[in-house]
Each structure stands twice: as structure tokens, then as C-alpha cells.
């Protein structure tokens, strides 16, 4: 097992492309860290620098507290798993898993013992004689993992290992991969542009944009408390509602959010009013998830936004209502009231009406 730390790491390619811009990131021992971001944001370059396949232009890659910039890839004791799992089709499962040990010159008896113990740990001991074409997708994934762990790496690096698969198999295998790496206890850095993959698999997610690290946190944190407007707009489907508001504090009574044509009055002491009170007199951007907005009767009292439904969208498991609330539009999940996990206060039932004003409200976008 291993820790990884990136300290002020930048990468400029010879053609002048700044692919990674001063990234600082700590990956804990045994952690499953997902690097998430759109195509070209620099996530593969970060992974390749950890693997030793690229050299940072500046900054330090530390593995287990050791300066690793000058270590060769083999000296890093890292295993990389690529797209398609890249198994050798003409070899048996046993030979596929044994291959790295053969390359390393290990004698056949200890090699066979090592392969057998890895295969048993992965639950593929009974298919050692088969070829990859005779395996299910999940079994192929396990063989690829077996081949990666057989040399006892301290770190797994995975670059979009599921990207060429159909969606059913992807969903199945993402549970397999995150389950397996946890069982094995190996620190893992996993690159993807797929947010469902990131949010379902990760212990923590690191979100990148244009070479810059935007936010790092558990899936619940980055989804519910995004650090930047970019992350707020990037994560989730439907997108988070982002509304401009002016804040007015009426001490001991309420905090008013003026949204233009209507205002919201948040009771004093309420978690939402506490989140915005220190922006008194400022214009901010308020983020509200669709599922945090609950439809209520037209004459419902309290902190309620009023809007006109433009259209409804039915998705089977949920229905979304698109509303105009004056100058802006919001999306509301029609499923009714929910309980939302608030990391600060534990879980709590939501009030009727506008149920959550999302935190970290700032007008500054990180551009
Ligand atoms: P994708 O998901 O499409 O692989 P990514 O987020 O992994 O994207 P990178 O592959 O890290 O992004 O690339 C980051 C930027 O660096 C891109 O603009 C890319 O074109 C550029 N880049 C990557 N490798 C090189 C290279 N060898 N030479 C020049 N530019 C490069």
C-alpha cells in the first residue's frame, strides 16, 4: 500500500501546452481516488506523471513520502490497468496472470504458487485453463486485475478502463473494480470523464478543468458542497440550479435572498440562513439541486418560491419540472420531499417549500 502526494506539479509539453497547472493532491493509503474532468483537462497527464511515463516540468511527485520524480516506472512498483484490460487472447488465464512474473525471471514453482493464490483471492481459480474469449466481462476484468496485482504493486493506476464497454457491463464492472481494490487494500488512482463512474466508485473525487484542480472531496461533498461554480455546474444531472441573489440580513429575524422578481425569506438560525448571512449586502450565486426543491400547494406558507411550469420531463424513476420563477428558470424533481445528508448536522428532514440552499455561495467563478 502507498500514499501519493503531488506538490505544486505542473506539466508543459514541448509544444507549449500547459496540460497540468500547479496541482496539489494527497492520496491516502488504501484510498480509491478518482480524477474526473472533461476531455483534455489533464487527468491522464497527472496519472502518467505518477506512473513515471511523463516527467513533471516543475513540482514533486512523492510516493510513500519519497521524492519519485527520478524513479523509473519499474522502481515505482505501480501497476497500470488500461482500457479493454489488454489481455493476451492466445494465452490461458494462468499464463496471462503469470506473464509479468515470467518477464521478471521468477522460477516456475513460486510463480505457479503466486498465480494460484492471486486467482483464489479474485475468485477465478476455476477458470485458469480458459482463454480470455471464454470468460465473462467480469471475469476478464478480474484476470486483468490479477495480472496487475501479481507483482504486488503498492499502487494501481487506471486510465478509463471501462470506456470501450457497453453501459450494462460498465455499471457491473465499476462495482467489481471498486469492491476488488478495497478488498485488496491497494491505493488506486482512477481516471474517468464519466461522473456516474466517479461518484459511485470513489472514496474521494478530484475534479480538474484546463489543467487546474478545482475541488477534492467525497462524492457527497463535491456533489452537495461544490468548491467552485464550475464544479457546481459540471456535476449532476440535471445540472444544479444557479441563481443570482442579493443578500439582506435582518438580525434575529430572517435573511432575505432577493432573486429579482421574488425574494426568499430564510428563518434566522436556519442552516441555510447561516450559510449566506455573512454575504450581507453582496450579490452571490445560490446553488439549489433539483431534488432539494419540493413542490408544495400554491397557498403553502413559508420560504416558498413561486413559478410557472414550462414543461415536465418524465424519466421513469423521476420526473423533472422546468419552471420559470421570474427572470430565471429552475428544475425541480417532482418526487416530493426527501431527506438530504447534511455533513454538518447529520441527516435531517427537509422543510416543505424551498428545502435547501446550497453552501459555499460565492459570486466568484474560478476561470
Ligand atoms: P482525455 O480524457 O481526452 O484523455 P485528459 O483529461 O486525460 O483527456 P490529457 O491527455 O492529460 O487530458 O491532456 C491534457 C492536455 O495536454 C490536452 O490539451 C492534450 O492535447 C495535451 N497533451 C497531452 N499529451 C501531449 C503531448 N505528448 N504533447 C503535447 N500535448 C499533449
Instruction: Compute the average pLDDT of residues 245-251.
Output: 91
Instruction: Compute the average pLDDT of residues 102-124.
Output: 89
The model's confidence at residue 352, banded by pLDDT at 50, 70 and 90, is very low
Instruction: Compute the average pLDDT of residues 224-253.
Output: 89
- Asked whether 267 and 273 are in contact (CB, 8 A), the reply is yes
Distance from the alpha carbon of residue 13 to the mean position of ligand 1, in angstroms: 9
Alpha-carbon separation of residue 330 from 227, 239, 290 (angstroms): 21, 10, 8
260: nearest Cα among 317, 212, 206, 328:
328
Spatial separation of the C-alpha atoms in residues 347 and 109, rounded to whole Å: 55
Instruction: Report yes or no on 94 lying in a domain.
Output: yes
231: nearest Cα among 39, 45, 36, 46:
36
The model's confidence at residue 329, banded by pLDDT at 50, 70 and 90, is low
Which of 55-69, 150-164, 185-199 is predicted with the least confidence, judged by mean pLDDT? 150-164
Q: Which pLDDT score is estimated for 80?
A: 84
At residue 20, does pLDDT exceed 60?
Answer: yes
Q: Which pLDDT score is estimated for 341?
A: 29
**Phi and psi angles of residue 271, each rounded to the nearest 5 degrees, phi first:** -55, -35
Torsion-angle region of 84 (φ positive above 0: left; ψ -120 to 50: alpha; else: beta): left
Q: Closest residue (by CA) to atom 16 of ligand 1?
A: 19
Relative to beta strand 155-159, strand 187-192 is: parallel
Which of 62-76, 146-160, 190-204 is predicted with the least confidence, judged by mean pLDDT? 146-160
Atom of ligand 1 nearest to the CA of 54: 27
| Sign of the four-CA dihedral 177, 178, 182, 188 | positive
84 and 41 inside one domain: yes
Domain that holds residue 271: 238-349
Q: Could you say which of 176, 201, 233 is where a domain stops?
A: 233
294 and 212 inside one domain: no
Q: Closest residue (by CA) to atom 29 of ligand 1?
A: 13
Ligand 1 site residues, Cβ closer than 6 angstroms: 13, 15, 17, 19, 37, 39-45, 193
Q: At what angle do helices 137-149 and 93-103 cross, to 10 degrees?
A: 20
- Asked whether 20 and 42 are in contact (CB, 8 A), the reply is yes
The model's confidence at residue 243, banded by pLDDT at 50, 70 and 90, is confident
158 and 216 inside one domain: yes
129 and 94 inside one domain: yes
- Asked whether 49 and 139 are in contact (CB, 8 A), the reply is no
Q: Could you say which of 204, 233, 262 is where a domain stops?
A: 233
The model's confidence at residue 192, banded by pLDDT at 50, 70 and 90, is very high
User: Per mean pLDDT, which of 217-226, 231-240, 290-299 is the most reliable?
Assistant: 217-226
CATH code of the domain covering residue 28: 3.40.50.300
* Rounded percentage of the chain residues whose pLDDT exceeds 70: 87
Measured between its terminal Cα atoms, the distance across the chain in Å is 36
Distance from the alpha carbon of residue 366 to the mean position of ligand 1, in angstroms: 21
294 and 227 inside one domain: no
Domain tally, the chain: 2
Tell me the per-residue pLDDT of 305-316, one tens digit each, with 9 for 90 and over: 877 777 778 777
Spatial separation of the C-alpha atoms in residues 301 and 194, rounded to whole Å: 41
Q: Closest residue (by CA) to atom 2 of ligand 1?
A: 39
337 and 196 inside one domain: no
Instruction: Report yes or no on 110 lying in a domain.
Output: yes
257 and 215 inside one domain: no
Instruction: Report yes or no on 334 lying in a domain.
Output: yes
- Asked whether 61 and 130 are in contact (CB, 8 A), the reply is no
| 347 or 271, which is more confident | 271
Instruction: Report yes or no on 277 lying in a domain.
Output: yes
Instruction: Report yes or no on 361 lying in a domain.
Output: no
Distance from the alpha carbon of residue 356 to the mean position of ligand 1, in angstroms: 38
206 and 162 inside one domain: yes
Q: Could you say which of 179, 199, 233 is where a domain stops?
A: 233
Instruction: Report yes or no on 204 lying in a domain.
Output: yes
Provide the grid cell at 246: 442579493
307 and 224 inside one domain: no
The pTM of this model reads 0.81
124 and 247 inside one domain: no
Q: At what angle do helices 108-121 and 93-103 cross, to 10 degrees?
A: 130
166 and 44 inside one domain: yes
Tell me what the pLDDT averaged over the chain comes to.
Answer: 83
Relative to beta strand 204-209, strand 212-217 is: antiparallel
Provide the grid cell at 309: 411550469
Alpha-carbon separation of residue 126 from 93, 100, 135, 240 (angstroms): 10, 21, 11, 48
Instruction: Report yes or no on 364 lying in a domain.
Output: no
Q: How many residues does the chain have?
A: 367
Distance from the alpha carbon of residue 10 to the mean position of ligand 1, in angstroms: 13
Spatial separation of the C-alpha atoms in residues 306 and 298, rounded to whole Å: 8
Q: Closest residue (by CA) to atom 1 of ligand 1?
A: 39
Neighbours of 87 (CB within 10 A): 20
Instruction: Report yes or no on 197 lying in a domain.
Output: yes
90 and 214 inside one domain: yes
Amino acid at each position: 500500500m502507498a500514499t501519493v502526494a503531488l506538490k505544486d506539479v505542473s506539466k508543459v509539453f514541448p509544444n507549449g501546452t500547459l496540460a497540468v497547472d500547479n496541482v496539489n493532491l494527497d492520496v491516502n493509503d488504501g484510498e480509491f481516488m478518482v480524477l474526473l474532468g472533461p476531455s483534455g483537462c489533464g487527468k491522464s497527464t497527472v496519472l502518467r506523471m505518477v506512473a513515471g511515463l511523463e516527467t513533471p516540468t516543475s513540482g514533486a511527485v512523492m510516493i510513500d513520502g519519497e521524492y519519485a520524480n527520478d524513479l523509473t516506472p519499474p522502481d515505482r512498483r505501480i501497476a497500470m490497468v488500461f482500457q479493454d484490460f489488454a489481455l493476451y487472447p492466445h494465452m490461458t488465464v494462468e499464463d496471462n496472470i503469470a506473464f509479468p512474473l515470467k518477464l521478471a525471471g521468477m522460477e516456475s514453482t513460486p510463480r505457479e504458487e503466486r498465480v494460484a493464490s492471486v486467482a483464489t483471492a479474485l475468485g477465478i481459480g476455476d477458470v485458469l485453463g480458459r482463454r480470455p474469449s471464454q470468460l465473462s466481462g467480469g471475469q476478464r476484468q478480474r484476470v486483468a486485475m490479477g495480472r496487475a496485482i501479481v507483482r504486488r504493486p503498492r499502487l494501481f493506476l487506471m486510465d478509463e478502463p471501462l470506456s470501450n464497454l457497453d453501459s450494462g457491463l460498465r455499471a457491473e464492472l465499476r462495482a467489481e473494480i471498486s469492491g476488488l481494490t478495497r478488498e485488496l487494500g491497494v491505493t488506486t488512482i482512477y481516471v474517468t470523464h464519466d461522473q456516474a463512474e466517479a461518484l459511485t466508485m470513489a472514496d474521494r473525487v478530484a475534479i480538474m478543468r484546463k489543467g487546474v484542480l478545482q475541488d477534492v472531496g467525497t462524492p457527497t461533498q463535491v456533489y452537495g458542497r461544490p468548491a467552485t461554480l464550475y464544479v457546481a455546474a459540471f456535476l449532476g444531472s440535471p445540472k444544479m440550479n444557479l441563481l443570482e441573489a442579493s443578500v439582506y440580513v435582518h438580525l434575529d429575524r430572517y435573511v432575505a435572498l432577493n432573486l429579482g422578481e421574488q425574494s426568499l425569506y430564510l428563518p434566522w438560525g436556519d442552516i441555510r440562513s447561516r450559510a449566506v448571512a455573512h454575504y450581507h449586502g453582496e450579490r452571490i450565486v445560490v446553488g439549489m439541486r433539483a431534488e432539494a426543491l419540493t413542490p408544495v400547494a400554491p397557498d403553502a406558507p413559508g420560504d416558498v418560491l413561486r413559478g410557472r411550469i414550462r414543461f415536465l420531463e418524465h424519466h421513469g424513476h423521476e420526473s423533472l419540472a422546468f419552471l420559470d420563477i421570474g427572470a430565471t428558470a429552475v428544475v425541480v424533481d417532482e418526487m416530493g420531499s426527501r431527506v438530504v445528508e447534511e455533513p454538518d448536522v447529520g441527516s435531517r428532514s427537509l422543510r416543505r417549500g424551498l428545502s435547501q440552499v446550497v453552501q459555499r455561495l460565492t459570486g466568484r467563478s474560478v476561470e
